[in-house]
Amino acid sequence: MAEKVIIMGGGPGGYVAAIRLNNMGFETTLIEKNRIGGVCLNIGCIPTKALYKSAEVYNQFSKLESYGLDLEGTVKPNASKIRERKNDIVDTLVTGIEKLLSSAGVEVIYGEAKITGPNSLEVNGEMMEFDRLIIATGSSSFIPPIKGVDQEGVITSTELLDFTEIPEELVIVGGGVIGMEFAGIFASFATKVTVLEALPGILPGVDGEIVKRLKPLLKKKSIDVKTSMMVKEIVQENGKLKVISEGAKGPVEVYGDQVLIATGRKANVKGIGLEEAGITVGRKGIEVDENFETNIKGIYAIGDVNGKWLLAHAASAQGEFVAEKIAGEHPVIGKFVPGCVFLFPEIASVGYTEEQLKEENIEYLTSKFMFGANGKALTMGEGEGLIKVISDLDYKIIGVHIMGPHASDLIHEGLIACEKGLVADDFKDLIHAHPTLPEAFFESVMGLKGEAVHMVKPRRK
């Protein structure tokens, strides 16, 4: 008789684990309290990228003259049509995953599950037993204890994604990935955007040089970024929301039609019975070992709920890993997890940043190639940005950081280099097509040893 495996949560970690397990012969049940696809598909990655594309196309129209094109009349964003397009994309993908689960033979139960013991849980008033359990309950928006944060017009990304009109003024509390992506989207639609970040800089974890080069581009797009700002209170004033912050030079007041709270996410660990099962929870989420197993044998936690990487692709990788582990295989999971920020231009990173290397006292080399010297980028009208490659002293690539066109696609050549321990010479005989954007990565890698043909050599001192 096949082992019974239950998965709590139908997001990118849960549904991938369910399909993989069922394909390997396990009796698999997936429990989802809302909608298959989780945060990423329904109220995260996919809908924001749908809005991003609408903003990107709108941006292109503002630059038609630079392409030698004339347009009679005006182009303006239509909030309801943008939202409808976003919803259609989400619905298509959700339906597709539902069909995948059905074709794989996974039993799907809609309801809220609560663990009742090391081998049982309750859902919709019924008790269910399991041999193995995978907790994949994800995360939700973290709302800081700011005075006035609960009033109308103060929203999270979930509400903003369902916008019915484009705000004239938007204040964003939090300069991480979520906050900055929404800043870029709505600034493109001519919204006046102000970002308030408590830390000294935005996009923590992104290579410092990339962030430094991004700042003037944000300013050019009229995104006002204020760092080292502690938000104290939000109040209604003359039909607007006034956000009162404390900065290095004293109080700062900014106004908006809406205030987006984008101060990070927290693991969904409340009310799911972790205490009853004796599962250990840490500061970031459920504590797991190198196999993503909790302190209770046979119970695993994957994705955002374990707090390791709050990324959909990391959750999916963990889901496959755990499924194969349960099946008695010897899976391997990547050490390097790429991250992308969908701004204008895009940012993507994998591996070490310079800041991390300095903190760990690791010696390194860097090489940079500017998109302004790449033929394909210039034909696209997107010559801003660069590809930065970091290696150790033996030229082994340990970090790649990109700001520029299609950075989210280009980063995967860097991922392979980091994950497989490739050195600069491994790329020397790889002929990159011309004219393409990946040529910029090739030139940056060749620059590590001073062998890049299209890079101006620094003057000797």
Q: pLDDT of 363-397, one tens digit each?
A: 999 999 999 999 999 999 999 999 999 999 999 99
Note whether 89 and 38 are same-domain residues: yes
Read out DSSP for 179-237?
HHHHHHHHHHTT-EEEEE-SSSSSSTTS-HHHHHHHHHHHHHTTEEEE-S-EEEEEEEE
**Active-site annotation, residues:** 434
For residues 35 and 88, the answer to whether their CB atoms sit within 8 Å is no
Read off the pLDDT of residues 249-268 as tens digits, 9 standing for 90 and up: 899 999 999 999 999 999 99
Q: What is the CATH number of the domain that holds 231?
A: 3.50.50.60
Residue-wise pLDDT tens digits, 222-255:
999 999 999 999 999 999 999 999 998 899 999 9
- Is 458 inside any structural domain? no
Q: Find out whether 56 and 155 touch, Cβ atoms under 8 Å.
A: no
Quick one: how far is CA 130 from the chain centroid? 32
Structure tokens at 168: 């004239």
Using an 8 Å Cβ cutoff, are 349 and 339 in contact? Answer: yes
The token duo for 44 is 């995260």
The whole-angstrom separation of Cα 109 and Cα 451 is 58
Residues of the binding site? 49, 137-139, 174-181, 197, 264, 304
Residues 322 and 228 in one domain: no
Annotated binding-site members for FAD: 49, 137-139, 304
Query: Which tens digits make up the pLDDT trace of 157-197?
Result: 999 999 999 999 999 999 999 999 999 999 999 999 999 99
Residue 23 and residue 123 in one domain: yes
Token look-up 């696809």 returns 37
Q: 181 and 235 share a domain?
A: yes
Q: How far is the C-alpha of 314 from the C-alpha of 100, rounded, in Å?
A: 20
Q: How confident is the model at residue 1 (pLDDT cuts 50, 70, 90)?
A: low
Residue 62 in this model has a pLDDT that exceeds 90 = no
SS3 362: coil
Whether residue 361 is contained in a domain is answered as yes
16 and 122 inside one domain: yes
Q: Can you give the pTM of this predicted structure? A: 0.95
Q: How far apart are the C-alpha atoms of 353 and 89, rounded to whole Å?
A: 34
* pLDDT value of residue 73: 80
Domain boundary among 235, 263, 291: 263
Residue span of the structural domain in which 423 resides: 339-449
460, pLDDT greater than 90: no
Output the known binding site for NAD(+). 174-181, 197, 264
Q: How far is it, in rounded angstroms, from Cα 423 to Cα 220?
A: 37
Mean pLDDT of 280-301: 97
Examine the pLDDT at 297 and tell me if it is beyond 70: yes
pLDDT of residue 71: 83
What is the number of structural domains in the chain? Answer: 3
| pLDDT above 70: residue 422 | yes
Q: Please, what is the average pLDDT of the chain?
A: 96
